[in-house]
Amino acid sequence: MLHGMAEGELRAATAIARRAGVLEHRFFSVPELRELGDMRTPRRLAGMPRAYIPMKNAIYYSVAASFAEEVGATRLIGGHNLDDKGVYEDTSERFFASMQSALREGSERLRAGRLSIWRPLRRLDKAAVVTMAAELGVPLELTWSCHREGTKPCWRCSGCIQRKKAFREAGIADPLVKRPV
């Protein structure tokens, strides 16, 4: 894993940021982060998906807050959806309220700017997110859900299975699925 992301995620994030005209797109390396599937003693985290990274959101939002302080931003925006809430404790309302408070407490500039964490998708399941993305013209062909390395989705990992389900429930053809000619 590079920068805490699989290569496919890096390619997708870069392409989407470029398409959206993002002015500065930073990557950071956290080489010691490991997914549950890569840990030597994962039994302590039984029941979690193989792609789970302990306390990932606390780490990522802390880094984002550092960038926000540097550039004077007052909002951190996350793409967590309703389906994440049932699996990951660090996507709960309580977690984000505490995280926002802690980030403000740690920085006079963030406190003065009333830094807030926005999660506009938190009440939408993955199918509703796909529907909204299609309606907004999001380049779905650039998105990536696979947890494995490669240039094509494996269609077997939990990310791919959830993606297939979301597109099916949304009634939208997934542009990453090759159709027979």
| Residue boundaries of the structural domains of the chain | 50-124
Distance of CA 110 to the CA centre of its chain: 23
Helices marked H in 41-123 — which ranges?
A: 56-71, 82-85, 93-105, 108-112
Q: Model-level pTM?
A: 0.85
Alpha-carbon distance of 128 to 4, in angstroms, equals 27
DSSP state of 118: E
pLDDT tens for the 181 residues of the chain, in order: 444 457 888 899 999 999 999 999 888 887 778 777 777 766 667 777 777 888 889 999 999 999 999 999 999 999 999 998 878 889 999 999 999 999 999 999 999 999 999 999 999 999 999 999 999 999 999 999 998 888 899 999 889 999 999 999 999 999 999 866 5
CA distances from 174 to 14, 21, 98, 141, 164 (A): 20, 24, 37, 8, 8
